[in-house]
Structure 1
Amino acid sequence: MNKEVKAVQGKDHGKKIKVLHLIKSLGRGGAEKLIPETALVHDQEKFEFYCLYFYHQENNIVGELQRAGIHVELIPSGNLSLFFQVSKVRKFIQTHEIDILHAHLPWAGIMARSVGNKIKIPIVYTEHNTWERYNKLSYWGNRISFKKQDVAIAVSNEVALSMRLNSIWDPYRRGERMQLKVIQNGVNTEMFVRMPDVRCAMPELAIPKEAKVIGIVAVFRDQKRLWLWVEVALKVLERCPEAHFMLVGDGEWRGKIEDQIKKSGKSGNFHLVGVQKNVIPYLSMMDIYLSTSEFEGLPIAMLEAMSCEVPVVATSAGGIGEVIQQGVQGYLSAIDEWNKLSDYCCDLILNPELHDNMRKAARERVIDQFSMKRMVRELEGVYGEVVG
């Protein structure tokens, strides 16, 4: 436990530090999933967690937050009306005697800084993506208000660089004491462990026992470029016709992806299994984790796959290049050279010894550098610092 946290608790005779997570929605993205997953690893005798969100989706993770012991509340709002809710957020903070406000992603970050204009509360902001990828309204709202917080956390070095470059011309004003820290995402390596004989337990998928499975867990949105993912898969089938492909998730691109697969005539080799609350059995069926993303922060699903002994073949988008060492835990291509990924997949499929070495190295890499315990320890250090 960080010494600052201990000091603060000593002053209050063991009173828990109350942290309020603020986020626009609770869909199944990486930023959202980190809230309950970190809470489970935090010392809950010393911390108490709350979460406010504003946009309700059907496939949400509210239940997962509640099972992690987080108090969850919805304040219904759209983007344009979000800032009419500042007084409600302020009242929630005062009613529940919140000690730290921890915001995620631009809209919640702007909201948190607006709340901080009226009441004195430490503000922590986590940035999960590079600024260049946001729309103009999110970008400028984030930039203009950015330094009105105590600590900004970047989930990767590339995200940190983006934050520095985009705020370099904005002068600090008196009383603004923001720090920038890199805390890379982590995964619970005790939970994400490869399960044996999963295919036998899911005969409905009709994946042959000996077939190699290439997969991904993702929200089906533009940045993932899943139409290119399917193109890579079809190229793999030219050399490795027994391969199968699994897409776990859903989103706006699903219909187009289904049409693309149907037109290819290879529907029998593809399995779109939808959103899954427990992805471990599906990761355990995969032999390769394939990503064709145009941009990323540091994808949680990829780290979870690696923890389940799945080597990675991916574009070097965002923090992916900070995790994967070329030829050790997998293979990387430049973002615009995604067509190389099919050959990398085939090399792994056709060389069992190479694949075995990489799958072991993938899990070792996560345990050594990207564990949830490490991430939570660093977060608790930040919490102790801002409260202290």
Structure 2
Amino acid sequence: MAYVKKIRILHVAQAAGGVDRYLKMLLKYLDKNRFENIVIASHDYKQEEYRGLADHFEYLDMERSIGYRDLKAAVSLRKRIRYYQPDSIYAHSSKAGALCRLANLGLSSLCVYNPHGWSFMMQVPNRKRKVYVLLERGMAFFTDQIVCISEAEKKAALQHHICKASKLHVIKSGVDIQTYRKRKPSNVQKKDLHIPETSIVVGMVGRLEPQKGADIFLKMAELLLQKRTDIHFLLVGSGAQKQDLLNFAGTHGFLENVHITDWVQDPYDYIELFDIAVLLSRWEGFGLVIPEYMLCQKPIVATFCDAIPELIQNGQNGFLVPKEDAKTACDRVLDLLDDKELQTKFKQNGLKKVYEQYDIQRVSKAHEVLFEMIQNQGR
């Protein structure tokens, strides 16, 4: 049998959170007989979690904000590209995308970019948004293929003339259904979080940063507690807003009903405690936690923005509410709490959708096809 050289892929990732979970699931199901995977990541990542997933793992000093250190990071990354000589570089998120394409100038590796949510989709001043658009347009010239994790992301790219449609490849994100089915029951209980056993838990998973709308979540919580006093609110995540959120709850007199876990290894342990799952994002490239909620069979209330309506059909497998609208979010949670049949409908329809459309093994297979396609085109 003839030896077939593996396709070597250099993955570069700066942003953690959902990107980290996405990358680990992707690597898990990529065919190890056909692909060699090298991961270069920021210090927000944990090397031990990539053992058995990546053939090599290295850290690179990368910062989320734009600054003079980016040039040093690009120079260091260029040295590693020359050392590993990958067939393809796969850049995850906007900062990694910029560094990879800068570092790869004049080198022979093909470049794939996955923004995981365009930077210009964020809520930023128009001047800054225009700068982000111009940067993405310029960088697209040095990109062989751009992976969009939702149709909304592709649509945004075309609307802003980032590149030709032929460079945009939609691979909708997914969750690891197989691992979830095999996982052991969670050991996390309400009492571990100082939540009364008889309380209703309304929860949200996400970074405690403006994008995810945790501040809107707490405004919703305040309104809900005016209607019912038996609800506790669980935020699963960490971030710069944590103290501001705690201060808000304390100032408004409901701190004892708010619980923040900080970063956790396995969000499913906490999602399983939810009675109602919420995501009140201001913008989303995909919203990976929504299929995670569906897999756990939780009724969902989420914002109508970007890719989320691809995941949730209002009134069928969840409720959609306007951005920044704590009052409507409160009303929809109350509707669910008052209607067990509706909860069951959302749970069943959500589980069906995640099995049919959002299995991470499909995502890995689609990437295999993509990498082999661009490898053949690049020869």
TM-score by length of 2: 0.89
Residue matched to 1:165: 159
Rounded Cα–Cα distance in structure 1 between residues aligned with 2:86 and 2:61: 21
Rounded Cα–Cα distance in structure 2 between residues aligned with 1:387 and 1:143: 23
Q: Secondary structure at the match of 2:334?
A: helix
1:354 aligns with 2:342: yes
1:273-324 CA-partner distances (Å, limit 9, x unpaired):
1110111110111121112211111111222121111121011122111100
Rounded Cα–Cα distance in structure 1 between residues aligned with 2:84 and 2:221: 51
Q: 2:51 aligns with which of 66, 71, 75?
A: 66
Work out whether residues 107 and 142 of structure 1, in 8 Å CA contact, stay in contact via their aligned partners in 2: no
The structure-2 alpha-carbon separation of the partners of 1:118 and 1:364, relative to structure 1 and needing over 3 Å to count, comes to same
Q: Secondary structure at the match of 1:190?
A: helix
Rounded Cα–Cα distance in structure 2 between residues aligned with 1:14 and 1:183: 26
Q: 1:239 aligns with which of 227, 232, 238?
A: 227
Q: Secondary structure at the match of 2:261?
A: strand
Kindly state the Cα deviation for residue 51 of structure 1 after the two structures are TM-superposed.
1.4
1:80 aligns with 2:74: no
Residue matched to 1:147: 141
Residue matched to 1:22: 12
Work out whether residues 220 and 330 of structure 2, in 8 Å CA contact, stay in contact via their aligned partners in 1: yes
Q: Secondary structure at the match of 1:91?
A: helix
The structure-2 alpha-carbon separation of the partners of 1:46 and 1:199, relative to structure 1 and needing over 3 Å to count, comes to closer
Residue matched to 1:56: 43
Rounded Cα–Cα distance in structure 1 between residues aligned with 2:317 and 2:238: 27
Q: Secondary structure at the match of 1:167?
A: coil
* Structure 2, unaligned runs of 5 or more: none
Residue matched to 2:309: 321
Work out whether residues 189 and 273 of structure 2, in 8 Å CA contact, stay in contact via their aligned partners in 1: no
Kindly state the Cα deviation for residue 237 of structure 1 after the two structures are TM-superposed.
2.1
Rounded Cα–Cα distance in structure 2 between residues aligned with 1:86 and 1:200: 42
Paired residue type of 1:73: E
Q: Secondary structure at the match of 1:259?
A: helix
Kindly state the Cα deviation for residue 332 of structure 1 after the two structures are TM-superposed.
0.2
Work out whether residues 194 and 309 of structure 1, in 8 Å CA contact, stay in contact via their aligned partners in 2: no
The structure-2 alpha-carbon separation of the partners of 1:109 and 1:199, relative to structure 1 and needing over 3 Å to count, comes to closer
Kindly state the Cα deviation for residue 209 of structure 1 after the two structures are TM-superposed.
3.4
Residue matched to 1:114: 102
| Aligned positions of 1:263-282 closer than 5 A | 263-282=251-270
Matched residues, number? 367
Q: Secondary structure at the match of 2:202?
A: strand
- Mean Cα displacement is larger for which, 197-206 or 238-247? 197-206
* Structure 1, unaligned runs of 5 or more: 1-9
The structure-2 alpha-carbon separation of the partners of 1:197 and 1:348, relative to structure 1 and needing over 3 Å to count, comes to farther
Kindly state the Cα deviation for residue 70 of structure 1 after the two structures are TM-superposed.
4.7
Work out whether residues 299 and 347 of structure 2, in 8 Å CA contact, stay in contact via their aligned partners in 1: yes
1:140-161 CA-partner distances (Å, limit 9, x unpaired):
3322121321111111122111
User: What RMSD, in angstroms, separates the aligned Cα atoms of the two structures?
Assistant: 2.5
Residue matched to 1:304: 292
The structure-2 alpha-carbon separation of the partners of 1:250 and 1:144, relative to structure 1 and needing over 3 Å to count, comes to same
- Mean Cα displacement is larger for which, 72-81 or 217-226? 72-81
The structure-2 alpha-carbon separation of the partners of 1:109 and 1:197, relative to structure 1 and needing over 3 Å to count, comes to closer
Rounded Cα–Cα distance in structure 1 between residues aligned with 2:263 and 2:93: 22
Q: Secondary structure at the match of 1:72?
A: strand
Rounded Cα–Cα distance in structure 2 between residues aligned with 1:286 and 1:192: 17
Kindly state the Cα deviation for residue 107 of structure 1 after the two structures are TM-superposed.
2.4
Q: 1:289 aligns with which of 277, 302, 305?
A: 277
Rounded Cα–Cα distance in structure 2 between residues aligned with 1:66 and 1:194: 20
Q: Secondary structure at the match of 1:128?
A: coil
Kindly state the Cα deviation for residue 254 of structure 1 after the two structures are TM-superposed.
0.3
Work out whether residues 285 and 306 of structure 2, in 8 Å CA contact, stay in contact via their aligned partners in 1: yes
Q: Secondary structure at the match of 1:302?
A: helix
Residue matched to 2:353: 365
Residue matched to 1:5: none
Kindly state the Cα deviation for residue 102 of structure 1 after the two structures are TM-superposed.
0.5
Identity of aligned residues (%): 23
Paired residue type of 2:3: H
TM-score by length of 1: 0.87
Rounded Cα–Cα distance in structure 2 between residues aligned with 1:352 and 1:202: 22
Rounded Cα–Cα distance in structure 2 between residues aligned with 1:194 and 1:248: 22
Higher RCO (C-alpha 8 Å, min separation 6): 1
Q: 1:219 aligns with which of 207, 212, 221?
A: 207
Work out whether residues 248 and 273 of structure 1, in 8 Å CA contact, stay in contact via their aligned partners in 2: yes
Rounded Cα–Cα distance in structure 1 between residues aligned with 2:188 and 2:169: 45
- Mean Cα displacement is larger for which, 184-193 or 318-327? 184-193
